[in-house]
Structure 1
């Protein structure tokens, strides 16, 4: 894949970051806190939402042109053509003229434009043409490449695009609307269909089906709801999930944020289920109204972004010191302040690593393309570098260390005897719950023989359910087999179930749950855990058929019926993957909500011996200072809530680690958001995929190890460019400073410096495709501005030694010692400077002996060789006079070979000394 394609992919990813992203929305909302931007709902939107909240459901559907069964595809398309896509205004691609301006608007182009303008005003048309050409080519190239990037980005983005579940009517119903009202059951016995559509295709009037883990894709009015709780802290300030209902409980409320039946784009479902109708989409939503007042706000800077910023400021400080010195020295010694000013500006350009954005983006894009071939989709490009810098990986147990397939291994009564009744109760619970079915439910529902024996559809009807949440860690359904009673069936974590049980079932008898029985229960479940089985307790109670709505308060006085135990065996690839990660300096820590005994056994089986298992209750009880020590000393954390996971991740980051977190559930979203690099899978819930930076199409730790290596290669190649460019440019400018002080003319004209800088930059465009030494990917790597500064000062002046030797050669041997012969002098130094700068690419790309111990990538070899040839032809070819240069005598080149050979040998010797004292990187 060539550089153009990589640049296109990168630009597409940048564009994709501007698309509809849930956590980007949350960042924007969070940014409003404490600012002067009003979070008040605009009057027109407030009126629309308030009207929708208070309107009768049928009337609202009618006003939106919708139906109780939803829209047909034809109706949805017609509305979409009228109102547009469900995208917030600032998320849409910018117009071409604005894109062109952004392609031009960077400090380097602005600086070159100033140089071109000054050259024009001083009558130097050749310099004006050359500099202007550089600016135009740079701008158009970037504009063209980024314009072509959208298709490549859309293909990758589509692989992990989020969807919403909507109700779709049969197209035939459009032509039979009146008949449908009366004969729907006859004409269309199957009713409406549930279909998945991209979020951006939603339109007002769409009926959206919501369950735990779903994002709210637009502003919605709830039509039906069951224990629906939303996380909307960034929107309204509530720290706890907020319950929503089908009807407003406070009819007097005037602020839509206080309406109980309105859901806002950018929030997400924590638990429960609902059906809601889309009221407003895109820029007409509350979030869209906010987006018109503030610019998009991104996350806090990552370790990668902070490192780039530090390096950039380091180089800027050098530029601020060197440029004024060059101006003053040349102004006073030569007397031509205009020429001195142009020369100083050219020095500023020479000191600026203007190819840094291109090298960084191309290198990251190359990494993204390589990872995509390995079924890893990168949502945020700089996450690749964080992959390489990551030294702690926090991961869930289920489906990551273990197989993504759970088997129901046991179904026993309270005393450990096989019980079909326990399996039947568990089956009814899993079958009738409408929340997010997890792997445990799937394992239970695979027992089709239970379905046949119970004849669920015929003998049972569902009365109500109490959805799962991460505080209770249990869920209940209420069913009725006969109309004379209801059965509340509850399943969940053993401790939480025991907390609401007062009796146990022993055969056909019901006994009180005594202390002795409780100890027996704990002993039995602990023994099952020691076998590596995940135990879920099942309890029930019969109630009179006097109520149709049940709540958490009804989960009391239950009868413990027994347990279902699941086997979640470790993957065969887990042990070698963990060993490989540890071999690359990545410490793996397991953060799970599962039982500590099961977790410890699995960890031992995969070669991760627990260093003491820490429970969520312990995390709850200790301070941040104590937690900072605990997270360093232990590697397994069990029975965690979502808040516990997030707190552990933040504690590790506060300790100076670059932390990755891998998860796929609702409970993982806060930790994914908090980590330096969030990793999820394409089968994860929406909220987890949105929080993640990287999506795995295969849930495998082996893929993570490959990502770590690719991230380190990416970082190594970026660091190569910065180190070699900073040291080479610093050395050249140091040489300019020396020459300016002693020569009666400029050592190079501004035009020469610009052409030299352009050729040198071109020679490095293939650095993203360079090979990386194995020892450079062995350990985590981070930005170290102090190291780069030391490297620059250490190696930069080495080139100045041989630059000064070239000065002497041209002055004493070839007689270029007067203003009349300055062109000869400048031509000699032009070639030597370009060749030495290009050779530095070979020398400083590795701490080893180049070509012998370290193999250079062929694209980099080709570009550098081509640039060296062009560099020699500039003064030696027929167009030399256009660049104000001249051909050199052939006697110059043997001296040049000696100078360059000496330079190479000294650099290699200095590398050995530097590595022994400071390390290479």
Structure 2
């Protein structure tokens, strides 16, 4: 990818809600449920929908200014200028002032603003300036990083945007209409579109023609079962437009069948748009990741609310100057506030997203990067993930396993004439060299009707007529499902009844093919008189089994290495497939995935949730699954405490993609799968996922470093302040000193997102554990206080800084020690290893540390010392300073060893 594109992608990733779908439909509907917003359609929208449902199709097209062959491009462009793009209001970018407000309004900035106001009211102008600088710095940096996201958002959305098949007429009246693929945002009222299995409904539409059309409206109504749609509303009068049989709505999806429909409403005027307007001010519920960030943030804020008043009262009572005590307590509050946390989190996630973009991975939700690191179970389909995603037609045999050209011809006719979603098996049949050379179905056959595929029957049928002499129903599908509707079997030119003995032999033949790693699809047929023009599910009966077409999908060369790498990183891989268990088992053996038992869909049907919860832990291969089986397995794994990723690209994967903690799909997936996913792969490979897991853990580890380092350092400083406040006749450090220290320290942390991470930290899943952070802070914070006390003693007895008149010398001495220990703690606890020797920080972090230390030493020793109320330190101080630092390093390293043995090191 070119550097300029990468820069755009980097900017785009930094604004979560603007990346791909600013207002994801599923999230909105979950928000509605949570906030109690009504899902009823406003009357202003209900009446036009009801009128469109009962109107004559031709009259409706004329009313919309359209035609049964759709609009011309010029007509569509004119309408688009009038009604705008097919996008809901909330998807538009925020105004710059609103974006700036969002960058500012985190708890820490609001708290710092309050402290700055108090400082101003108490005439502490220097404190006001320093605190204000910190707020402005944090806000502007974040605004600058996120500001460029608008430029890249459209490009990113285009990479994974959904499209619709639209009929377009030429400029001349006699020109034949053509089917074109358009981005859904370009649709306008009056467009005539084609819908087939796997399509997202791109707008509110009236169905003109339909064939076995089933639509999932669960996102709108909560109904789990798809509903059938037709070209006419034959049901009773209803005030609920969702009950109208000939209307389909934006945000729903086609499960099976096909249809031609005209667009009625787009964008804000759709049912979905009406709902969006009701919750435009409602924020999306925080994800588990951001909930964890918030938990940690409030832990630190609560700590600050306890410690700052304590410092205030101790200083007030011991020094008697309550105004000075107030200013000092405010400085302590600022010092305890990790105001850079929002920017560190955003920057770290963005860096991970940039890394993944180089691996041809598009991150739709920024926190999905961290979810990679937390993932400990990856559920994946078999085809195209473990295998090459290039299926070859390897065998075409009759029921006895002997090669048969009749089977090949019937399979070809079935794949050629079906208008639903053509899967890889259909493509393999159509591309077969022998078929392409010898068969010309258009010459001898015409299509009569079609019974589309669905995941309950697991078969599909087409009906063709040969010279109108008779009708031939050809059914292709899973072996067991085809056998269930067969009563006969062809053997050569003869037809025999399907006896139990023959069934056993048939199953032996198919099992042998499966053992070879071939995926077997059965083909059956039935002839009938040319009198029937419409066929349905009831006609799939009394068929004759003709034979099988068997497909080979060899495993990818990289799969075995990827599975091994995932196992080394403690990510368990479970294969969830609708395919035969024998084929799946053979592929698993070839790629080195040790089997822990096979669980079939029919076994899952017989289990309750508790039994399935136990079974999913003991099995890693699940075969012959329906979409609901996959979703249920994911839910059970999550209920068992796992962070679950699911990788899939088909219609049958969409429920599981939504259910998983991190849904992963590919750019070639069907629309509904891409809509449900959090991550889009431009290259379908498990190796990319393994790299994503490492990057997610690296991202999380760097965020955790900042929190641990900041919490420990701040706690140690406050602990020292409490002791000093009780013992010293003057403040150990002025409020301005504390603010400058905090500002310098925060600037040095900007480089943390780019720090190195030890390989050991990448070997296990990482999660938020606020309790562990609190314990870490209590154990490591006071270590610096030990050496602060030694510094106090040194300044008191060695340098004689014992009176208020000599407090500047005392404060300068502690200022330098405090800054150096804060700089050093970054390197001491960024890794459990020995710093600088076994584990080195990245060059940017080392450079920032050196720069801050240089500035910190320059302030008391340089010409600005008087301005900051500091003074130059004697040479003996700098002779003793290295001993203090070496002692601090030794004690911290000893505590690291104890802590790691006792609680581990996340």
TM-score of the aligned structures, taking structure 1 as reference length:
0.95
> What is the alpha-carbon distance in structure 2 between the residues aligned to residue 99 and residue 365 of structure 1?
18
- Is residue 519 from structure 1 mapped to residue 504 from structure 2 by the alignment? yes
C-alpha distance after superposition, 1:424-482 (max 9, x if no partner): 11101000111110010001001355356443222211111111111000000111113
Partner of 2:365 in structure 1? Answer: 380
C-alpha distance after superposition, 1:65-110 (max 9, x if no partner): 2222222323222222211121111221112222222222222222
Partner of 2:473 in structure 1? Answer: 488
Further displaced range: 767-776 or 32-41: 32-41
- Is residue 161 from structure 1 mapped to residue 146 from structure 2 by the alignment? no
Partner of 1:626 in structure 2? Answer: 611
8 Å contact from structure 1 (residues 303, 658) kept in 2: no
785, 790, 795: which is aligned to 1:810?
795
Partner of 2:720 in structure 1? Answer: 735
8 Å contact from structure 2 (residues 211, 259) kept in 1: yes
- Is residue 400 from structure 1 mapped to residue 403 from structure 2 by the alignment? no
Partner of 2:55 in structure 1? Answer: 55
Question: 1:855 deviation in Å?
Answer: 2.3
Q: What SS class does the counterpart of residue 907 from structure 1 fall into?
A: helix
Question: 1:317 deviation in Å?
Answer: 3.1
Question: 1:499 deviation in Å?
Answer: 0.5
Partner of 2:771 in structure 1? Answer: 786
- Is residue 478 from structure 1 mapped to residue 463 from structure 2 by the alignment? yes
Partner of 1:15 in structure 2? Answer: 18
Runs of at least 5 residues in structure 2 that lack an aligned partner in the other structure: none
8 Å contact from structure 1 (residues 491, 536) kept in 2: yes
Q: What SS class does the counterpart of residue 539 from structure 1 fall into?
A: strand
Partner of 1:282 in structure 2? Answer: 267
Question: 1:899 deviation in Å?
Answer: 1.3
> What is the alpha-carbon distance in structure 1 between the residues aligned to residue 413 and residue 349 of structure 2?
50
Partner of 1:656 in structure 2? Answer: 641
Partner of 1:419 in structure 2? Answer: 404
Partner of 2:375 in structure 1? Answer: 390
Partner of 1:902 in structure 2? Answer: 887
> What is the alpha-carbon distance in structure 2 between the residues aligned to residue 877 and residue 845 of structure 1?
31
> What is the alpha-carbon distance in structure 2 between the residues aligned to residue 902 and residue 255 of structure 1?
75
Further displaced range: 155-164 or 502-511: 155-164
Partner of 2:583 in structure 1? Answer: 598
Structure 1 pair 204/884, CA: closer, same or farther in 2 (3 Å)? farther
Partner of 2:530 in structure 1? Answer: 545
8 Å contact from structure 1 (residues 215, 269) kept in 2: yes
Partner of 1:758 in structure 2? Answer: 743
Partner of 2:41 in structure 1? Answer: 41
Question: 1:314 deviation in Å?
Answer: 2.7
Q: What SS class does the counterpart of residue 575 from structure 1 fall into?
A: helix
Structure 1 pair 884/441, CA: closer, same or farther in 2 (3 Å)? same
Pairing of 1:443-842 with structure 2 (within 5 A) = 443-447=428-432, 449-450=434-435, 453-842=438-827
- Is residue 845 from structure 1 mapped to residue 830 from structure 2 by the alignment? yes
Aligned residues: 903
Q: What SS class does the counterpart of residue 684 from structure 2 fall into?
A: coil
> What is the alpha-carbon distance in structure 1 between the residues aligned to residue 235 and residue 324 of structure 2?
76
Partner of 2:119 in structure 1? Answer: 119
Structure 1 pair 131/348, CA: closer, same or farther in 2 (3 Å)? closer
> What is the alpha-carbon distance in structure 2 between the residues aligned to residue 302 and residue 11 of structure 1?
16
> What is the alpha-carbon distance in structure 2 between the residues aligned to residue 295 and residue 342 of structure 1?
41
Partner of 1:176 in structure 2? Answer: none
- Is residue 69 from structure 1 mapped to residue 69 from structure 2 by the alignment? yes
C-alpha distance after superposition, 1:616-667 (max 9, x if no partner): 0001101111111111111111000011111111111111111111111111
8 Å contact from structure 1 (residues 13, 153) kept in 2: no
Structure 1 pair 126/310, CA: closer, same or farther in 2 (3 Å)? closer
Partner of 1:436 in structure 2? Answer: 421
Q: What SS class does the counterpart of residue 338 from structure 2 fall into?
A: coil
Question: 1:394 deviation in Å?
Answer: 0.9
Structure 1 pair 670/14, CA: closer, same or farther in 2 (3 Å)? same
Partner of 2:86 in structure 1? Answer: 86
Partner of 2:255 in structure 1? Answer: 270
Structure 1 pair 382/836, CA: closer, same or farther in 2 (3 Å)? same
> What is the alpha-carbon distance in structure 2 between the residues aligned to residue 664 and residue 679 of structure 1?
8
C-alpha distance after superposition, 1:510-541 (max 9, x if no partner): 22111111111111111111111111110111
8 Å contact from structure 1 (residues 27, 297) kept in 2: no
Partner of 1:177 in structure 2? Answer: none
- Is residue 221 from structure 1 mapped to residue 206 from structure 2 by the alignment? yes
Further displaced range: 76-85 or 831-840: 76-85
> What is the alpha-carbon distance in structure 1 between the residues aligned to residue 304 and residue 662 of structure 2?
33
> What is the alpha-carbon distance in structure 2 between the residues aligned to residue 754 and residue 490 of structure 1?
77
Question: 1:151 deviation in Å?
Answer: 2.1
Question: 1:377 deviation in Å?
Answer: 1.5
> What is the alpha-carbon distance in structure 1 between the residues aligned to residue 567 and residue 282 of structure 2?
36
> What is the alpha-carbon distance in structure 1 between the residues aligned to residue 581 and residue 847 of structure 2?
57
871, 874, 889: which is aligned to 1:889?
874
Partner of 2:238 in structure 1? Answer: 253
Runs of at least 5 residues in structure 1 that lack an aligned partner in the other structure: 174-179
C-alpha distance after superposition, 1:290-349 (max 9, x if no partner): 112124778875553343233233323322322221122122222333332332232222
Partner of 2:322 in structure 1? Answer: 337
TM-score of the aligned structures, taking structure 2 as reference length:
0.96
Further displaced range: 685-694 or 77-86: 77-86
8 Å contact from structure 2 (residues 711, 777) kept in 1: yes
Partner of 1:106 in structure 2? Answer: 106
> What is the alpha-carbon distance in structure 1 between the residues aligned to residue 222 and residue 777 of structure 2?
49
> What is the alpha-carbon distance in structure 1 between the residues aligned to residue 523 and residue 199 of structure 2?
27
Q: What SS class does the counterpart of residue 225 from structure 2 fall into?
A: coil
Q: What SS class does the counterpart of residue 32 from structure 1 fall into?
A: helix
Partner of 1:212 in structure 2? Answer: 197
Structure 1 pair 710/138, CA: closer, same or farther in 2 (3 Å)? closer
198, 214, 225: which is aligned to 1:240?
225
8 Å contact from structure 1 (residues 6, 365) kept in 2: no
8 Å contact from structure 1 (residues 167, 206) kept in 2: yes
> What is the alpha-carbon distance in structure 1 between the residues aligned to residue 430 and residue 676 of structure 2?
30
8 Å contact from structure 1 (residues 462, 480) kept in 2: yes
Structure 1 pair 521/296, CA: closer, same or farther in 2 (3 Å)? farther
> What is the alpha-carbon distance in structure 1 between the residues aligned to residue 616 and residue 161 of structure 2?
35
8 Å contact from structure 1 (residues 7, 361) kept in 2: no
Further displaced range: 692-701 or 345-354: 345-354
8 Å contact from structure 2 (residues 106, 342) kept in 1: no
Q: What SS class does the counterpart of residue 855 from structure 1 fall into?
A: coil
- Is residue 858 from structure 1 mapped to residue 843 from structure 2 by the alignment? yes
Structure 1 pair 138/917, CA: closer, same or farther in 2 (3 Å)? closer
> What is the alpha-carbon distance in structure 2 between the residues aligned to residue 101 and residue 297 of structure 1?
16
> What is the alpha-carbon distance in structure 1 between the residues aligned to residue 462 and residue 683 of structure 2?
34
Structure 1 pair 854/36, CA: closer, same or farther in 2 (3 Å)? closer
Further displaced range: 687-696 or 141-150: 141-150
8 Å contact from structure 2 (residues 10, 353) kept in 1: no
298, 310, 328: which is aligned to 1:313?
298
Structure 1 pair 485/451, CA: closer, same or farther in 2 (3 Å)? farther
Partner of 1:151 in structure 2? Answer: 151
> What is the alpha-carbon distance in structure 2 between the residues aligned to residue 645 and residue 41 of structure 1?
33
